[in-house]
Amino acid sequence: MTTSETTKEQWLQQIEAWHDSGLSQKAWCRQNGVRPSQPGYWKKKLWAGNAPASSSSTRTAFVPVSLAQRQDQTGQASSVLTVSLPNGLSVSGIDHNNLTLAGQLIGLLQ
């Protein structure tokens, strides 16, 4: 493994530890002696295009979803999805018209 690959793997582990800690980026960095800008830089670098840089960092899980029936502007019932992330944030109002945007937003919030 090259030095570059080793560094990437170390940052994959660091970012996973940050996410698993439930701490804010600033608090995690302070606790671990890391400059606050580093995790964001590496997350962006490693997940460019929303794809993990290494298959070893990919985690798959089933998550609960809720589907609510609502009326749209025409009075028709429409299905709306709410996604609740492990960090407590929720994204709601997801439907077939904004799936791409919702996916990008959720990727940034994780």
**Cβ pair 11, 42 in contact under 8 A:** yes
SS (H, E, C) 22-91: CCCHHHHHHHHCCCCHHHHHHHHHHCHHHCCCCHHHCCCCCCCCEEEEEECCCCCEEEEEEEECCCCCEE
In the chain, the percentage of residues whose pLDDT exceeds 90 is 5
Mean pLDDT in the chain? 74
Find the range with the poorest average confidence among 24-28, 78-82, 90-94.
78-82
Q: What is the pTM of this model?
A: 0.42
d(CA 59, CA 55) in angstroms, rounded, equals 9
